[in-house]
Amino acid sequence: MMTFKTKIKTLCSAFALAGALFSCTDVENLEIQTPYTYSDQYYENLRAYKASDHQISFMWFADYTSSHSLGIRFMGLPDSLDICSLWGGVPNPKDHPLAYEEMRFCQQVKGMKFTYVTFPGVSNLEWVMSHPEEERVKVYGDSLLRIVYNNGLDGMDLDYEIQGDWMHGANFVKLIEYLGQFIGPKGKDPSKLLIVDGWPIDGGYEYLSYFIAQAYHSYGASDLQSRYNEVAAHGLPPERYIVTENMGDYYATGGTPFTEADGNTTSILGGQLYSLEGMARWNPTQGKKGGFGSFFGQRDYNNTPPYKYFRLGIQIQNPAVK
* pLDDT for position 322: 60
State the distance between the two ends of the chain, measured CA to CA, in whole angstroms: 33
pTM over 0.85: yes
* For helices 170-179 and 133-150, angle between their N-to-C axes, nearest 10 degrees: 50
Residue 240 has pLDDT above 70, yes or no: yes
* pLDDT for position 181: 98
Q: Which amino acid is at 104?
A: R
Q: What confidence tier does 35 reach under pLDDT thresholds 50, 70, 90?
A: low
Instruction: Work out the burial of residue 75: count CB atoms within 10 Å of its CB; fewer than 13 is exposed, 13-18 middle, 19 or more buried.
Output: buried
Of the CA atoms within 13 Å of residue 40, those in its CB half-sphere come to 0
Domain boundaries, the chain: 24-118+215-317
Beta-carbon contacts of residue 209 (< 8 Å; ≥ 6 apart) = 155, 184, 185, 193, 194, 195, 240
* pLDDT for position 11: 30
